[in-house]
Amino acid sequence: MNAFLLAALALVDAAFAGFRAYTGRDGRIRKTRRALLAARRGLAVGVPGLLLSTAVAVSLLFGAADRVARYAELDAAAHRMLLCYAPYAAVVVLSLACYLWGPFRAGTLAVVVGLGPLTLLRPLVVLAGALAAAWGSLPAAPVSAVAAVGVLLVEPAVHRRWYAEPV
Amino acid sequence: MQLLEISDLVVDHDPGTRERLPVRRGDVVARLTAAGDRSGARIAAGLACDDAGHLDPLAVDRRLVAVHTELQRLSEELRLGDRIAELLGPLLAVIRAAGSADGPLRVVDVGCGLGYLVRWLAASGVLGPDVDLVGVDFNAALVREAERLARAEGLPCRFVRGDAFALDEPATVYVSTGVLHHFRGSDLDAFFAAQATRGTAAFCHFDIAATGLAPIGAWVFHRARMRDPLGRHDGVMSARRAHDDDTLLTAAAHADGLVPLMYEPRGRSNPFCTTLRPVIGVRPELLSPLRAALGPGPSGRLVGRADAEAAVRREASAGGGAG
């Protein structure tokens, strides 16, 4: 269950990373369709990273002498990772809801206090989650490291591939 | 320490002919260094130039267009369009009702850059189809890009390169966003004085609210949202250069015949919710109708100098007595 929740979070994050890679590159006013395309590009770049970390986890699982114990260890690591990411995700969702559906002054508050600083904090939160997963569990370290690198690379990769210049 | 924005230094025009003048990279770096701005000097030192040391105008234009495109993201996120529409809608309704405009209603965006505000107003149609939307800027590259973007979306607005206060057709309302902090002292007074023309019913200029939080907020926001170091540098400088309410009200009083007011001044707004706020000028006869059109909540956020408002009330009551 923990692993599935983490995978879902990673996919949502990848879509947002694609969107962020696109923002600031298109001066047009109406661009919902292009923003959605950017989110899909983020997903497309994020999925291989997710599959790679899954493959590392599966190989560690099947390579273990005691698979039940290894599964429990990896699941506990995923749980620790989730504990780091869940509060961050909750604040992001709250800020986004306020931005999208609140009056524009509340929207400004959501950006100034929430979404802006949260974007800056995101790499640190990703690394903190990876460290928490690896804490005291050597087999979880490569999985969390691959997952964290995969998550952090989505935005620069999409930006470099599709949005290096204004569109 | 003198606060300088790199984008102000890398483009120069002949004031008479408006022809672009060459800019020496060494001069830009020297000015920033003299101002104690080492990070700004490093960014300027990285700009492309020719063998004679002059900045490559095409590279500068490309960079400025890219930075302004990134900057537009901030306007979008901070809902600048909604903020301006909240004021311009009632203001134009009052001007329409009073018949104050000579000819069609015209909103002119001074120093429009990529024309985000004008294009947003055109796309939303929030001001009505009878309003002529014009963006004016001295920078030819930005005006070209604004025109291209407007054409790409078929928006009913236009852009002019030149002096916004010397157009053939008068503006009913002058607007701007993020322009005021570029003017200091007598230049700021002159900026407002130039708007006191016969055909002008009002002005509404938005700029960064000068609060203690503004430079920190600008740093966080530009760090999180902008990629270009030049844009990040200038964004933080803009917040540090922002004028306080009193300076703006004093300068705005140079627009003869227009009552200067602040909307959401410091002390009447939450700095986390109001990162930009406007200084407004209106013809005295429009002030009461504007307050009525805004409604009790927003009208309470519109504050002028007590003496200027009292003079308007005296004039209004004298006019009422005579009538």
B77: exposed, middle or buried (Cβ count in 10 Å: 0-12, 13-18, 19+): buried
Q: Is the pLDDT of residue B287 over 80?
A: yes
Domain residue limits at A108:
2-162
Q: C-alpha distances in angstroms, B272 versus A119, A156, B176, B248?
A: 17, 30, 22, 21
Q: Are A98 and A109 in contact (CB under 8 A)?
A: yes
CB < 8 Å from B in window 128-167 of A: 159, 165-166
A 10 A CB-CB count for A104 gives 17
Classify the C-alpha dihedral B153-B154-B157-B159 as positive or negative. Answer: positive
Residue A68 domain-assigned? yes
Determine the Cα–Cα distance for residues A53 and A147; give it in Å rounded to an integer: 5
* Chain A residue with minimum CA distance to B277: A105
Contacts for B21-24 with beta carbons within 8 Å, 24 or more apart? Answer: B22/B54, B22/B55, B22/B57, B23/B54, B23/B55, B23/B60, B24/B49, B24/B53, B24/B54, B24/B55
Average pLDDT estimate for B16-43: 95
Delineate the domains of chain B, giving CATH numbers in brackets: 6-55 (no CATH), 67-322 (3.40.50.150)
Residue A12 domain-assigned? yes
Q: Is the pLDDT of residue B314 over 80?
A: no
Tokens of B163: 């002096």
CB < 8 Å from B in window 27-66 of A: 27-30
What's the gap in Å between the CA of A117 and the closest CA on chain B?
A: 6
Q: Which residue has the higher pLDDT, A103 or B15?
A: A103
Q: Are strands B302-304 and B12-13 parallel, antiparallel or unpaired?
A: unpaired
| Residue B226 with chain A: CB contacts under 8 Å | 24
| Residue A25 with chain B: CB contacts under 8 Å | 69-70
- Least confidently predicted of A3-7, B210-214, B246-250: B210-214
* Chain A residue with minimum CA distance to B142: A27
Facing A111 at nearest CB: one of B68, B78, B152: B78
pLDDT band at B316 (very low <50, low <70, confident <90, very high): low
pLDDT at B102: 66
What's the gap in Å between the CA of A104 and the closest CA on chain B?
A: 6
Determine the Cα–Cα distance for residues A18 and A33; give it in Å rounded to an integer: 13
pLDDT at A99: 94
Q: Is the pLDDT of residue B320 over 60?
A: no
- What is the residue type of B160? V
Determine the Cα–Cα distance for residues B56 and B207; give it in Å rounded to an integer: 30
pLDDT band at B221 (very low <50, low <70, confident <90, very high): confident
Look at B223 and A120 and tell me if their CB atoms are within 8 Å.
yes
pLDDT at B323: 33
pLDDT at B266: 83
Determine the Cα–Cα distance for residues B115 and B68; give it in Å rounded to an integer: 10
pLDDT digits (tens, 9 = 90+) for A8-44: 999 999 999 999 999 999 999 999 999 999 999 999 9
Q: Is the pLDDT of residue A136 over 70?
A: yes
pLDDT band at B91 (very low <50, low <70, confident <90, very high): very high
Instruction: Please state the ipTM of this predicted complex.
Output: 0.87
Task: State how many domains chain A has.
Answer: 1
| Residue A108 with chain B: CB contacts under 8 Å | 78-79, 272-275
pLDDT band at B321 (very low <50, low <70, confident <90, very high): very low
pLDDT band at B278 (very low <50, low <70, confident <90, very high): very high
pLDDT at B305: 79
Facing B153 at nearest CB: one of A28, A104, A113: A28
Q: Is the pLDDT of residue A154 over 50?
A: yes
Facing A27 at nearest CB: one of B83, B114, B226: B114
pLDDT digits (tens, 9 = 90+) for B222-273: 999 999 999 999 999 999 999 999 999 999 999 999 999 999 888 777 888 8
Q: C-alpha distances in angstroms, B163 versus B58, B99, B127, B217?
A: 22, 27, 24, 32
A 10 A CB-CB count for B280 gives 26
Look at A115 and B272 and tell me if their CB atoms are within 8 Å.
no
pLDDT band at B322 (very low <50, low <70, confident <90, very high): very low
Look at A112 and B223 and tell me if their CB atoms are within 8 Å.
no
Facing A108 at nearest CB: one of B119, B153, B275: B275
SS3 A132: helix
Give the strands of the sheet with B276-282, arranged side by side: B158-161, B131-137, B105-110, B173-177, B202-208, B276-282, B259-263, B302-304
Q: Is the pLDDT of residue B1 over 90?
A: no
A 10 A CB-CB count for B128 gives 11
Counted residue by residue, chain B has a size of 323
- Listed in sequence order, the residues at least 6 apart from B247 whose beta carbon sits closer than 8 Å to its beta carbon are B188
Residue in this structure with the two tokens 């920078």, named with its chain if needed:
B139
Determine the Cα–Cα distance for residues B3 and A153; give it in Å rounded to an integer: 36
Residue A167 domain-assigned? no
CB pairs under 8 A between A and B: 76
Helices (H), A23-139: 32-62, 67-101, 104-109, 116-134
Residue A56 domain-assigned? yes
Residue A140 domain-assigned? yes
pLDDT at B177: 96
Q: Is the pLDDT of residue B106 over 50?
A: yes
| Residue A98 with chain B: CB contacts under 8 Å | none
Q: Are B156 and B133 in contact (CB under 8 A)?
A: yes
pLDDT at B311: 63
Look at B225 and A116 and tell me if their CB atoms are within 8 Å.
yes
What's the gap in Å between the CA of B188 and the closest CA on chain A?
A: 28
pLDDT at B270: 81
What letter would DSSP give residue B180? G
pLDDT digits (tens, 9 = 90+) for B126-158: 999 999 999 999 999 999 999 999 999 999 999
Q: What distance lies between CA A106 and its chain's CA centroid? A: 26
Average pLDDT estimate for A73-94: 96
Average pLDDT estimate for A52-71: 95
* Chain A residue with minimum CA distance to B149: A28
| Residue A113 with chain B: CB contacts under 8 Å | 272
Average pLDDT estimate for A97-126: 93
